[in-house]
Amino acid sequence: MPTPLVVSDVAKSFTMHLRDGVTLPVVAGVSFSIRAGECAVLGGPSGAGKSSILKMLYGNYAVNEGQIIVQHAGGLIDLAAANPRTVLAVRRQTIGYVSQFLRTVPRVSALDVVAEPLVERGETREAAREKARTLLAQLNLPEKLWALPPATFSGGEQQRVNIARGFITEHPILLLDEPTASLDAKNRDVVVELIAAKKAAGVALLGIFHDLDVRDAVADRVIDVTTFAAGKIAA
């Protein structure tokens, strides 16, 4: 099985310059890899650093130490040391991300928010919209909402737009930050199906799920983040 994502010895801390430069250690010695077609889940209590790890893997947080090796464009790159242009190319082509909250852009319709990542990858706008309609219908988002900007949607509606946006492309790696947190049971099941389809298609998935039913339904294994507690290593 190919291994599109290898994380080795990654450490992250925050230096708070407004608090006299105090350093908050987050995680250290983070090492794992994800194979194609598997879904690994980051486990551990709130504050253990699960979201920070996902954000480093997406280039959204800087990495203090270690390497994040990603199979990208036919080669291997270290995302922890990559320049912004490379990170953007990796996001476009290789790593997808479903964030916890949707960051909305004024005046862009839900349909186009969902279609956008496909358009960025070179799909025509109409083909991208067609696929977006299919996904939004699958996620039971009422059709009357599709043409509206999601800023005024409910939490669950926004999350479904976010999920559709994350799942519309064929990125070989997909990061999921609590994608089911504000969904009802019916839509949680849809997300479980979508994840199963990604696995079958050979996508490497890494997620955070607080919902135990969803977690049990999708996880091939759990990576215990408490073993990466920064204090432990430092002590």
Partner 1 sequence: MTDEPLLRVSALSKFYGSRVGCENVTFDLWPGEVLAVVGESGSGKTTLLNCLSARLLPSSGTASYRMRDGQLRELYRMSEAERRFLMRTDWGFVHQNPADGLRMTVSAGANVGERLMAVGDRHYGKIRATAVDWLSRVEIDEDRIDDEPRAFSGGMRQRLQIARNLVTGPRLVFMDEPTGGLDVSVQARLLDLLRGLVTDLGLAAVVVTHDLAVARLLSQRMMVMKDGRVVESGLTDRVLDDPRAPYTQLLVSSILQV
By CB under 8 A, residue 96 contacts partner 1: no
By CB under 8 A, residue 74 contacts partner 1: no
3 state DSSP class of 28 = strand
Among 22, 81, 105, 233, binds partner 1 (CB under 8 A): 105
Among 69, 87, 148, 190, binds partner 1 (CB under 8 A): 87
Q: SS3 for 49-67, per residue?
A: CHHHHHHHHCCCCCCCEEE
H or E segment and range at residue 214: helix 212-218
**CB 17 to partner 1: min, Å:** 4
By CB under 8 A, residue 16 contacts partner 1: yes
**CB 107 to partner 1: min, Å:** 4
By CB under 8 A, residue 22 contacts partner 1: no
By CB under 8 A, residue 61 contacts partner 1: yes
**CB 213 to partner 1: min, Å:** 30
By CB under 8 A, residue 55 contacts partner 1: yes
By CB under 8 A, residue 144 contacts partner 1: no
Among 6, 14, 35, 78, binds partner 1 (CB under 8 A): 14
Q: Which residues, at least 6 apart from 228, have a Cβ–Cβ distance to it below 8 Å?
A: 27, 28, 29, 30, 49, 53
Work out whether strand 95-98 and strand 75-78 pair parallel, antiparallel, or are unpaired.
unpaired
**Which range, of 2-10, 106-114, 135-143, 185-193, touches partner 1 by CB under 8 A?**
106-114
Within 10 angstroms of residue 213's Cβ, the number of other Cβ atoms is 13
Query: What radius of gyration, in Å, describes the C-alpha atoms of the chain?
Result: 18
Binding-site residue total for partner 1 (CB under 8 A)? 18
By CB under 8 A, residue 17 contacts partner 1: yes
3 state DSSP class of 221 = strand
Among 74, 107, 212, 235, binds partner 1 (CB under 8 A): 107
Within 10 angstroms of residue 197's Cβ, the number of other Cβ atoms is 11
CA distance readout (Å), 234 to 30, 53, 67, 75, 179: 13, 18, 19, 34, 33
What does residue 47 show for φ and ψ, rounded to 5 degrees?
90, 0
**CB 27 to partner 1: min, Å:** 14
By CB under 8 A, residue 85 contacts partner 1: yes
List interacting residues with partner 1 (CB under 8 A): 14-18, 55, 59-62, 84-85, 87-88, 105-108
